[in-house]
Amino acid sequence: MDFGLKDQVVMVTGGGSGIGAEAARSFAAQGAKVAIVDRNLAGANAVREEIAATGGLAAAYETNVTDEVSVQETVDAIQRDLGPVSVLVNNAGFTRDMKIVRMSLADWSSVVDVILKGAFLCSRAVIPAMVEAGYGRIVNISSRAHLGNPGQANYSSAKAGIIGFTRALSLEYGKNNITVNAVAPGIINTAAVTNLPHYGKIKEAAEKTTPIPRIGEPEDVANAIVFLGSRLSSYITGETLHVTGGRY
């Protein structure tokens, strides 16, 4: 099956770890030129080296997706180094969980900003080149938490917001052959989850309540991201694909 990704320039935010790192490796395996964008340059460089060791092409960029200048400088550098971005994966994100009455404004803003402002700034920076090329793919990483999780008012709000953002952009840019979709993972085996103090309980509950009775792997999510980021998904836009093992 030809994903049509050879020599496409793919920008993955939060590509230095977990789901983003696996998506970067998977795009590179399809022959894409991958820009690994992360505020953690060491992580981004490690993924770049792994990709290079397997004969792929990638570059690493230290970027804070919530910073307008940092994002624009990164997109300009990617254009210089690899070419104009044709696939954007808005994946950078994190949680700051607690009940709302104990949630500080910083806990709220940092989570909402990295997810929503980050996706806004990165999308706005790459869309002009996609319009010019008459082709583009944007894949936004939501979460099953968009349905609402206790202790995650900040994260659930942002992950629901990213679905509205996805739909809005899909309506604005369908005529330009730019598709915009979201992927909503369930519980996935990344450091963000395995480092949680109650990880054991989360894993046990997931195994009991998930129709496919296991925690998801980064590869499960990367496969969905690569499909929606490829030419194979050309008549799919504004959708949210749940990668949750059937758990809602």
Ligand X SMILES: NC(=O)c1ccc[n+]([C@@H]2O[C@H](COP(=O)([O-])OP(=O)(O)OC[C@H]3O[C@@H](n4cnc5c(N)ncnc54)[C@H](O)[C@@H]3O)[C@@H](O)[C@H]2O)c1
Rounded to 10 degrees, what is the CA torsion of 123, 218, 38, 195? 130
d(CA 107, CA 98): 9
82 binding ligand X? (CB under 6 A): no
Least Å from the CB of residue 16 to ligand X? 4
Q: Which of 9, 38, 121, 129 binds ligand X (CB under 6 A)?
A: 38
94 binding ligand X? (CB under 6 A): yes
Least Å from the CB of residue 134 to ligand X? 29
Least Å from the CB of residue 13 to ligand X? 6
State which amino acid sits at residue 30.
Q
Q: Which of 56, 93, 136, 245 binds ligand X (CB under 6 A)?
A: 93
Angle at 109 between CA 143 and CA 148, to 5 degrees: 30
91 binding ligand X? (CB under 6 A): yes
Active site residue 155: yes
CB 23 within 8 A of CB 40: no
Q: Assign residue 245 a region: left if phi > 0, alpha if psi is -120 to 50, beta otherwise?
A: left
Q: Which of 122, 127, 163, 188 binds ligand X (CB under 6 A)?
A: 188
193 binding ligand X? (CB under 6 A): yes
d(CA 76, CA 242): 32
Q: DSSP class of residue 147?
A: G
Residue nearest ligand X, CB atom distance:
18
Q: Which residue has the tokens 């917001």?
A: 161
Least Å from the CB of residue 188 to ligand X? 4
d(CA 241, CA 218): 15
Residue number with CB closer to ligand X (163 or 188): 188
Q: Which stretch binds ligand X (CB under 6 A): 1-9, 60-68, 97-105, 206-214?
A: 60-68
Catalytic residue chosen out of the listed positions 61, 135, 155, 173: 155
d(CA 97, CA 103): 8
Q: Which stretch binds ligand X (CB under 6 A): 12-20, 25-33, 72-80, 129-137?
A: 12-20
Q: How far is CA 157 from the centre of its chain?
A: 17
User: Where on the chain is the footprint of ligand X (CB under 6 A)?
Assistant: 13-14, 16-20, 38-40, 43, 63-66, 91-94, 114, 141, 143, 185, 187-188, 190-193
